[in-house]
Amino acid sequence: MARILSRKRTRLPEIDFTAHVCKEGPTYVSYSPELDVSSCGDSVAEARTRLREAVTLFLEECAHKGTLGAILAESGFEKRGHSYRPRRIVARVKFRLAVPLAS
């Protein structure tokens, strides 16, 4: 009887990011402002799922090119243990401004 040895699993780093979803016509657009990555879908859930896939592919490509650490640092992420955290938002404010008309 063969004995299977359990391999020590290395825990992959995790990242927290924000997803904004808005509706543009019949399509739902999802966007991660920290990473400047977006995707879309026919529903909110599909747009979120596709954004998650797009972010995964983006991070994998950055890792493959050897630029992942630099990209995350430039985007304001800090590594804490086995995870990357976005910069802490201390205030969230919406503004309304009058737009000057072109002459």
Instruction: Please give the chain's pLDDT, 103 residues, in tens.
Output: 455 555 555 566 889 899 999 999 999 999 999 999 999 999 999 999 999 999 999 999 999 999 998 999 999 998 888 888 888 888 888 889 999 988 6
What are the boundaries of each domain within the chain? 16-83
Q: Check if CATH label 1.10.1760 holds for domain 16-83.
A: no
Long-range contacts of 74-82 (CB under 8 A, 24+ apart): 75/34, 75/35, 75/36, 76/34, 77/15, 77/34, 79/13, 82/11, 82/12, 82/13, 82/14
